[in-house]
Amino acid sequence: MYKRIDFSKLEGLATYQDTLDFLQASYRETISAIAMAFGSKVIVTGVVDLGVSYSDGWVIIDGELMPFVPGLKADRIIVEDIADTEIFNDGSIQSVYYTKRAKFGNTGGYLFTDFIRVDTLTSISQGLKGLITAHNNLQAAFNTHTHSWNQITDKPGSFNPSPHRHNWTDIDNRPPYSILYAGISWIGDPATDNGQEWRWVFFPSVGTDRYIVAGTMNSQNDWNNWVADNNVTWAVKDREPAAFKVLCQDNGGGVQKLQFEYALISY
């Protein structure tokens, strides 16, 4: 409680009107603050439909928590402020005790249909668990549910997708490979007739030697000499982050004019 009186002090604490007002305010203000959090027209407990009447209970009206008096049904709820008296030291009788309570009435007050009922924490918890379970079941059903094309009604007679592109990173379940680099290297006439030779192919570093060389020997000879280009077989060796060797075997004769076109694929 944000207000309190320390009654542990000795020698007798005199009790005056301001002392009692301090005590009353400490509870009244705190309870009112909590009540305001629920709303202005709220059924907290009770007020159960008994047929022709409603049972007793507790309600919040405009931030004040007050008892509800049972009674016959009506369209509205009104607030009574009942005053009670006390005899003072000077012999006078004055109203000092005030009790607010809510009950059914026919005029004034508040429409009963405007009041909302606060569920218990247990009921709220069960409701949330039910929603989560329903959501999970629905999600599972969506994830496994499919339709045959023949089962779909009002489908279009034709489907003409518009041309479009996607970035590689937009594709789901894509293979775990990527092209690190692509280039062209001049090989020319790689070896003597029926001989063997190797050539280095250099490129900007790709930071790894774990790549596949996907390539082709592209013939650059004219139409009359293309047979010579066709005599060469090749393989790759000594892969490095910025170079690899192309091993060439000349299986025939003639002068070749070859260029090696390649792509490096990570793995």
Q: Map the chain to HEC letters.
A: CCCCCCCCCCCCCCCCHHHHHHHHHHHHHHHHHHHHHHCCEEEEEECCECCCEECCEEEEECCEEEEECCEECCCEEEEEEEEEEEECCCCCEEEEEEEEEEEEECCCCEEHHHCEECCCHHHHHHHHHHHHHHHHHHHHHHHHCCCCHHHCCCCCCCCCCCCCCCCHHHCCCCCCCCEEEEEEEEEECCCCCCCEEEEEEECCCCCCCCEEEEEEEEECCCHHHHHHHCCEEEEEEEEECCEEEEEEEECCCCCCCEEEEEEEEEC
Per-domain residue ranges for the chain?
Answer: 39-117, 176-266
Give me the pLDDT at residue 1, please.
62
Query: Residues 114-118: what's their mean pLDDT?
Result: 91
Residue 259 and residue 184: Cα distance in Å, rounded?
7
Residue 104 and residue 56: Cα distance in Å, rounded?
11
Predicted TM-score (pTM) of this structure: 0.44
Residue 106 and residue 119: Cα distance in Å, rounded?
27
Give me the pLDDT at residue 108, please.
92
Query: Residues 84-107: what's their mean pLDDT?
Result: 93
Q: Which two tokens stand for residue 249?
A: 């075997």
Q: Which amino acid is at 177?
A: Y
By mean pLDDT, which of 55-59, 79-83, 115-119, 258-262 is the weakest? 115-119
Give me the pLDDT at residue 44, please.
92
Q: What residues contact residue 256 under an 8 Å CB cut-off, 6+ apart?
A: 187, 188, 189, 190, 221, 228, 229, 231, 232, 250
Residue 85, beta-bridge partner list: 95
Average pLDDT along the chain: 88
CATH code of domain 176-266: 2.60.40
Higher-pLDDT residue of 205 and 170 is: 205
By mean pLDDT, which of 106-110, 218-222, 253-257 is the weakest? 253-257
Q: pLDDT > 90: what percent of the chain?
A: 48
Query: Residues 70-88: what's their mean pLDDT?
Result: 94
- pLDDT-derived band of residue 137, with 50, 70 and 90 as boundaries? confident
pLDDT greater than 80 at residue 3:
no
pLDDT greater than 90 at residue 236:
yes
Query: Residues 113-123: what's their mean pLDDT?
Result: 83
pLDDT greater than 80 at residue 10:
no
Residue 237, beta-bridge partner list: 245
* Most confident region among 62-66, 118-122, 213-217 by mean pLDDT: 213-217
Give me the pLDDT at residue 38, please.
82
